[in-house]
């Protein structure tokens, strides 16, 4: 839920930047779904400006309430563009991972006592908007750690 709410709070310009950063060979990550909605052939979708495709992709995510796909898109953005943000949080809160990827999320949780200090450190090194996106992912990933959700709610407004 937090990830979908974070997506809804993301401006069109910021989502476009996220969407563009994930493109491969000129295709955005949801261009196949966008093409279906618009009744385009998959190859023809490239003719539309990326901003229009990103707006439609964000709309699809929000209207379908597709939390898993929103989680994947935002997570992929962070791993691709800001892996150090993810790995720093995980390392400093004691979560075992392989370059930001966690095998057993249920039994491999961050130390709640270290979270606030790590977030302060991350805010000083990375764009706080990206830190907030990661905090939404963490709150979704570890719902039993209520502090994550509380901190995300406070930051997200």
Residue 32 φ/ψ, nearest 5 degrees: -65, -45
Its domain, for residue 14, covers 2-156
What is the residue-averaged pLDDT of the chain?
95
Question: Structure pTM?
Answer: 0.92
Question: Over the stretch 54-96, which tens digit does the pLDDT of each residue have?
Answer: 999 999 999 877 888 999 999 999 999 999 999 999 999 999 9
Q: What is the pLDDT of residue 65?
A: 79
| Count: domains in the chain | 1
């Amino acid at each position: 839920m937090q990830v979908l709410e974070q997506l809804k709070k993301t401006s069109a310009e910021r989502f476009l930047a996220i969407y563009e950063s994930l493109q491969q060979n000129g295709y955005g990550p949801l261009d196949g779904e966008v093409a279906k909605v618009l009744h385009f052939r998959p190859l023809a979708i490239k003719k539309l400006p990326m901003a229009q495709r990103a707006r439609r992709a964000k709309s699809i995510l929000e209207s379908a309430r597709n939390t898993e796909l929103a989680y994947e898109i935002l997570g992929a953005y962070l791993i691709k563009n800001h892996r150090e943000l993810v790995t720093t949080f995980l390392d400093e809160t004691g979560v075992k991972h392989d370059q930001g990827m966690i095998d057993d999320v249920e039994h491999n949780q961050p130390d709640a006592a270290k979270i606030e200090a790590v977030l302060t450190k991350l805010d000083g090194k990375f764009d706080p908007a990206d830190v907030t996106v990661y905090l939404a992912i963490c709150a979704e990933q570890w719902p039993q750690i209520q502090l994550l959700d509380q901190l995300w709610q406070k930051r997200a407004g």
